[in-house]
Amino acid sequence: MDARPLPENWLRTDALTTACLTALGCFMAWLPVIAGTSVFKTSVWLQFLGCVLMTLPLIWRRRFPLTSGIAVCGIYLVLIHSTGLDLYASQVSLCLAFFSIGAWSAHRAKALVARIAISIAMALGVALDTLDLLLRLQAGQPDGPTLEAVLATLSGTWLHNVLFFATAWVFGDRGWQQAMEQLELERANTSVRELQADLVSKAIEEERLRIARELHDVVAHHVTTMSVQAAAARRLLDTDQERARASLKEVEAGARLAVRDLRSVVLMLRSGEANYESLPTLKELGKLVTSSQQTGLKVNYDRIGELPPLTPAIELTLYRVAQEALTNAAKHAGPSARVEVRLRGRSKTVELEVADDGIGMRTGLPGTGTGLIGMRERVTAVGGTLETGSKPRGGFRVRAEVPAEVGA
């Protein structure tokens, strides 16, 4: 079982408490002596020593409750049966030691056994005193106790001890229980704080990745398109100015589209909510294919089957996957490659496949791979699956399948 945490400066506090209890016990032992009413025949210095011995183990009552409690009980029994000393400090020390065993011992079974043993030892001590009084009463000595005195003493002694140990037992267990409840509460609060910090960290990471995906998809596609068109315009500038001007117009149109998409992304990030009205949908997939064709990429687009109702988030996801796949084909498939874009609707899912017959995946080419990572993150976020890789007969294929019922 978990140990009860020790309070700060516990040793100093208990040492000060022990010193005060010792001083009070010595004063209570000395007061009857100077008043001439002491019932003890022992020296006052022996009484002082008894006070010190009884209270000294209490310094470690929280750190070593079992040892401290047993030591106090043992010293009490030795003192009272060897010298007859039953001091004020003895009673308080016994109560505090007995309480500490229940309140501070992490070994609950040992604490139970120790308290039972101490209770039995105290009961035996009281029983011996009771037997002594009864024997003296039976002897009928002139200076012996009367029956009324014996009954009053016995009832008071037994009631005092029962209340004494029962109260210390109950409050000791209650102190331990409250400490454990507080410890569990602190652990729960710590877990909640750690969970909150983890959730905040994950939310920040997810938001950072979402921003990175949006910026990558928007910028990469439009910049690639403009780069291809600008290169074509440069080559045709001296030989075919009409086609060069057409390529430059496509560059201008691509720049406007890039600005529009970037503005939509910025507005979405500022508002904190996805505003899908200004973002592309699957209806614009044909325009995306046309834009890729105008860069010189040979693209064929097929739409198979009826699409089930889709949420804006899923439509945007499929559009971005197609956009990134076409961008990669334009950069890596080769000038003579052909690209097939297929959008297939099923009853509960939608499949998008973008495949080319180009040179396939090659190592050592420029790029960071963030495009493929972003596609996979997008598709996974809406509960779909993504497959990417080279085709057996050459080329590269991207296949995404998403469920239709996932919400935005």
* Cα–Cα distance measured from residue 386 to residue 380, given in angstroms and rounded to the nearest whole number: 8
pLDDT of residue 170: 93
Q: Which of 238, 122, 98 is nearest to 170 (CA)?
A: 98
Q: What is the pLDDT of residue 364?
A: 46
Q: What SS3 class is residue 274?
A: coil
Domain with CATH 3.30.565.10 in the chain: 281-408
CB 283 within 8 A of CB 318: no
- pLDDT computed for residue 333 by the predictor: 80
pLDDT of residue 248: 81
Nearest to 258 by CA among 286, 319, 217, 211: 217
Kind and range of the H or E run holding 143 = none
- pLDDT reported for residue 101: 93
- Structural domain 281-408, CATH architecture: 2-Layer Sandwich (3.30)
Instruction: Look up tokens 């019932």; give the residue.
Output: 39
Q: What is the DSSP letter of 354?
A: E
d(CA 378, CA 209): 10
pLDDT score of 354: 93
Secondary structure of residue 391 in the 3-state scheme: coil
> Based on the number of CB atoms within 10 Å of its own CB, is 217 exposed (0-12), middle (13-18) or buried (19 or more)?
buried
Tens-of-pLDDT digits for all 408 residues of the chain? 677 888 888 999 999 999 998 888 888 888 887 877 766 677 778 888 888 888 899 999 999 999 999 998 888 888 776 766 666 677 788 889 999 999 999 888 999 999 999 888 888 877 777 777 677 666 666 666 666 666 666 666 777 778 888 899 999 999 999 999 998 999 999 999 999 888 888 877 777 777 777 777 666 666 777 777 787 778 777 788 787 777 787 777 778 777 777 777 777 666 655 556 667 788 889 888 888 887 778 999 999 988 888 888 898 889 889 988 888 888 888 778 899 999 999 888 999 999 998 876 654 445 556 778 888 888 998 899 999 988 888 889 999 999 986 444
Separation CA 44–CA 215 (nearest Å): 90
With a CB cutoff of 8 Å and minimum separation 6, the contacts of 146 are: 137
* CB-CB neighbours of 275 under 10 Å: 13
State the Cα–Cα distance between residues 320 and 280, nearest whole angstrom.
9
The per-residue DSSP string of 199-225 comes to HHHHHHHHHHHHHHHHHHHHHHHHHHH
> Are 48 and 24 contacting, i.e. CB atoms less than 8 angstroms apart?
no
Question: Residue 288: what pLDDT?
Answer: 87
Predicted TM-score (pTM) of the model is 0.54
Looking only at the bridges linking them, the beta strands covering 338-345 and 385-390 are unpaired
Q: What is the pLDDT of residue 408?
A: 41
What does DSSP say about strands 298-304 and 338-345: parallel, antiparallel, or unpaired? Answer: parallel
- Alpha helices by DSSP H, listed for 140-240, are 147-236
Residues 6+ apart with CB under 8 A from 125: 77, 80, 81
Using DSSP's 3-state secondary structure scheme, residue 365 falls into: coil
Angstrom distance (rounded) from CA 252 to CA 230: 10
Q: Which residues are CB-contacts of 377 (< 8 A; sequence separation ≥ 6)?
A: 209, 213
